Amino acid sequence: MFDTLSGRLQGALAGVRAKGRLDEETVQKVTREIRLALLEADVELDVVKQLVSGIRERALDAEVMRGLEPGQQVVKIVHEELTELLGSSDSRLVFGRPPTVVLLAGLQGAGKTTAAGKLALWLRKHEKKSPALVPADLQRPAAVDQLEQLGKQIGVPVFRTDTTDPVEAARRGVERAGAEGCDVVIVDTAGRLQIDEALMDELASVRDAIKPLNVLLVLDAMTGQEAVNVARAFQERVAFDGILLTKLDGDARGGAALSVRSVTGRPVKFASTGEKLDQLEVFHPDRMASRILGMGDVLTLIERAEQAIEEDDQAALEARMRQGVFTFDDFLSSSRMLKKMGPLKGVMKMLPGVGQLEGLDVDDRQMARVEAIVLSMTPHERRTPHLINGPRRRRIAAGSGTTIDEVNRLLHARKQMEKMMRQMGKGKLPTLPPELTGGRPPGPGRRR
Q: Is residue 168 scored above 60 in pLDDT?
A: yes
Distance CA 184, CA 132 (A): 6
Distance CA 151, CA 145 (A): 10
> Concatenated DSSP letters for 314-365?
HHHHHHHHHHT---HHHHHHHHHHHHHT--HHHHHHTSTTGGG-TT--B-HH
Same domain, 322 and 428: yes
Could you tell me the strand order of the sheet in which 280-282 lies? 131-136, 184-189, 100-105, 214-220, 242-246, 268-272, 280-282
Distance CA 93, CA 215 (A): 9
- Residue positions counted in the chain: 448
Same domain, 280 and 324: no
φ, ψ (nearest 5 deg) of residue 105: -125, 160
Query: Which CATH number fits the domain that encloses residue 60?
Result: 1.20.120.140
φ, ψ (nearest 5 deg) of residue 135: -85, 125
What was the pLDDT predicted at 153? Answer: 94
**Is residue 239 in a domain?**
yes
Same domain, 67 and 200: no
Q: Which of 65-79, 91-105, 350-364, 408-422 has the highest mean pLDDT?
A: 91-105
Q: Of 114-118, 209-213, 265-269, which range is least confident? A: 265-269
What was the pLDDT predicted at 21? Answer: 67
Percent of the chain surpassing pLDDT 70? 75
Range of the domain at 367: 301-436
**Is residue 92 in a domain?**
no
Q: Is residue 1 scored above 60 in pLDDT?
A: no
Query: Which CATH number fits the domain that encloses residue 380?
Result: 1.10.260.30
Q: What is the pTM of this model?
A: 0.68
Distance CA 124, CA 130 (A): 6
Do you find a cis peptide bond into 99, omega within 30 degrees of 0? yes
Angle at 218 between CA 349 and CA 281, to 5 degrees: 35
In 121-234, beta strands by DSSP E:
131-136, 184-189, 214-220
Same domain, 283 and 418: no
**Is residue 172 in a domain?**
yes
Q: Is residue 362 scored above 70 in pLDDT?
A: no
Q: Per the structure, how many domains does the chain have? A: 3
Distance CA 419, CA 47 (A): 50
Average pLDDT over residues 110-119: 92
What was the pLDDT predicted at 299? Answer: 58
Same domain, 307 and 394: yes
What was the pLDDT predicted at 5? Answer: 74
